[in-house]
């Protein structure tokens, strides 16, 4: 009886918390709603040490925090969420730690495909972005399966940056742009349409004219699947971007709560939204000046 009574109380409490949270979201939705929120999930290892947990447990607790943040985002109507899951620089860590993180990543990626997972509950399409060739084969294949399994979901988008740095993304985009432009020039010259450079808009009188345009580079960015972020949240009080979305974050609201990632909660999410809404007009004005 006591167990059943406790279960009912927990259910009632959970329903009450959900009702209050959604009521708060209804009030906040009167103001501008961010279209895209990005997260740097900093502090998992430090949390584990702080709580004297077994190695790797901090990242598992951090995954639960991520699920909560995703739920808040999708309930509030945020269409795009991007997370910094694993940097290229993280491969420099101790091999045993890297392997442990890869195993955990594979486990959680495979969990995304399950019918009851949060991505299926909210109709989320998943993208894995970065230099995926650097991932171990089991993780890369799991990522490909998750992307295929969620390809028809259209209500929201979750971008997971793995084996990613912003500098690598920019170099990749420039290389792809150059390769594409060279193919266009080669085809024009082969077809006898005249000098390829001239056909592509090259002005011989102005050597400063660029063949590679901004739009060419941006369409080859890994992050071309999502608009620029409106809010970027990094936990643990750090104010560095750590080579994450450097190209895309010029005009987004930055928020750096002092808590470690596994400690992030609803109040931090609310504060990030309020800061965004307070500065929205100013940031939009700056964007329009571009």
174, 190, 221 — which closes off a domain? 221
Q: What percent of the chain has pLDDT over 90?
A: 69
> Does 210 lie in the same domain as 112?
no
- Output the 3-class SS for 123-182: CEEEEEECCHHHCCHHHHHHHHHHHHHCCCCCCEEEEEEEEECHHHHHHHHHHHHHHHHH
Question: Residues 17-29: what's their mean pLDDT?
Answer: 91
- Which whole number is the average pLDDT over 202-207? 49
Chain segment 142-198, per-residue pLDDT in tens: 999 999 999 999 999 999 999 999 999 999 999 999 998 888 878 777 776 555 555
261, 156: one domain = yes
106: domain CATH number?
Answer: 3.40.1180.10
Please indicate, yes or no, whether residues 102 and 156 belong to a single structural domain of this protein: yes
The answer on 148 and 85 residing in a single domain is yes
- 140 and 274 in a single domain? The answer is yes
Looking at the structure, tell me whether residues 246 and 128 fall in a common domain: yes
Question: Which are the catalytic amino acids?
Answer: 42
What mean pLDDT do residues 55-63 have?
Answer: 91
What lies within 8 Å, CB to CB, of 222 at 6+ separation is 129, 130, 161, 164, 169, 172, 173
CA–CA distance, 121 with 150 (Å, rounded to integer): 11
The answer to whether residues 279 and 260 belong to one domain is: yes
**CA distance linking residue 233 with residue 244, whole number of Å:** 11
149 Cβ contact partners less than 8 Å away, ≥ 6 residues apart: 112, 113
* 254 and 134 assigned to the same domain: yes
**Residue 15 lies inside a defined structural domain of this protein:** no
Contact 70, 81 (CB under 8 A): yes
Phi, psi values for residue 213, rounded to 5°: -95, 165
* Residue 18, in any domain of the structure: no
pLDDT band at 206 (very low <50, low <70, confident <90, very high): very low
* Cα-based distances in Å from 146 to 55, 99, 104, 111, 263: 27, 20, 15, 9, 27
- For residue 116, how many other CB atoms are within 10 A of its CB? 7
User: 221, 253, 268 — which closes off a domain?
Assistant: 221
DSSP letter, residue 290: -
The predicted-structure confidence for 122-145, as pLDDT tens digits, reads as follows: 999 999 999 999 999 999 999 999
Domain count, the chain: 2
- Residue 14 counted as domain residue: no
In the three-class reduction of DSSP (H, G, I as helix; E, B as strand; rest coil), residue 265 is classed as coil
Answer yes or no: are the C-beta atoms of 35 and 227 closer than 8 Å.
Answer: yes
**pLDDT tier at 223, thresholds 50, 70, 90:** very high
Say how many C-beta atoms besides its own lie within 10 A of residue 92's C-beta: 8
Question: Could you tell me if 66 and 177 lie in one domain?
Answer: no
Mean pLDDT value of segment 48-70: 92
Segment among 43-47, 85-89, 114-118, 218-222 with least mean pLDDT: 114-118
What does the alpha-carbon distance between residue 271 and residue 255 come to, in Å, rounded to a whole number? Answer: 9
* 257 within domain boundaries: yes
Q: Which of 80-84, 214-218, 249-253 has the highest mean pLDDT?
A: 80-84
* pLDDT for residue 207 is more than 50: no
Give the pLDDT band of residue 201 (cuts 50, 70, 90): low
* Domain co-membership, 275 together with 243: yes
User: Is the Cα torsion angle 121, 38, 108, 221 positive or negative in sign?
Assistant: positive
pLDDT band at 283 (very low <50, low <70, confident <90, very high): confident
208 pLDDT higher than 50:
no
Domain with 199 in it:
166-221
In-domain check, residue 149 = yes
């Amino acid at each position: 009886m006591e167990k059943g009574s406790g279960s009912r109380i927990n259910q009632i409490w959970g329903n009450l918390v959900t009702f209050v949270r959604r009521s708060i979201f209804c009030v906040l939705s009167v103001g501008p709603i961010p279209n895209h929120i990005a997260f740097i999930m900093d502090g998992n290892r430090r949390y584990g040490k702080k709580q004297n947990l077994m190695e790797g447990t901090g990242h598992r607790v951090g995954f639960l925090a991520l699920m909560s943040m995703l739920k808040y985002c999708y309930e509030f109507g945020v269409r795009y969420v991007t997370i910094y899951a694993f940097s290229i620089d993280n491969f420099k860590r101790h091999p045993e730690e890297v392997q442990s993180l890869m195993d955990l990543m594979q486990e959680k990626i495979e969990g995304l495909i399950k019918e009851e997972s949060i991505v299926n509950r909210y109709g989320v399409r998943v993208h894995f972005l970065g230099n995926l060739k650097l991932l171990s084969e089991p993780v890369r294949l799991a990522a490909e399966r998750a992307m295929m399994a969620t390809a028809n979901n259209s209500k929201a988008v979750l971008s997971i940056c793995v084996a990613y740095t912003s500098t690598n993304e920019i170099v990749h985009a420039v290389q792809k742009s150059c390769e594409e432009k060279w193919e266009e020039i080669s085809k024009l010259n082969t077809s006898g349409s005249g000098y390829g450079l001239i056909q592509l808009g090259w002005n011989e009188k102005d050597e400063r004219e660029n063949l590679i345009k901004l739009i060419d580079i941006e369409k080859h960015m890994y992050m071309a699947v999502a608009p620029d972020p409106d809010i970027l949240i990094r936990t643990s009080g750090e104010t560095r971007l750590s080579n994450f979305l450097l190209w895309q974050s010029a005009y987004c609201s930055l928020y750096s709560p002092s808590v470690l990632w596994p400690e992030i909660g609803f109040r931090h999410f609310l504060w990030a939204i309020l800061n965004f809404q307070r500065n929205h007009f100013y940031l939009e004005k700056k964007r329009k000046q571009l």
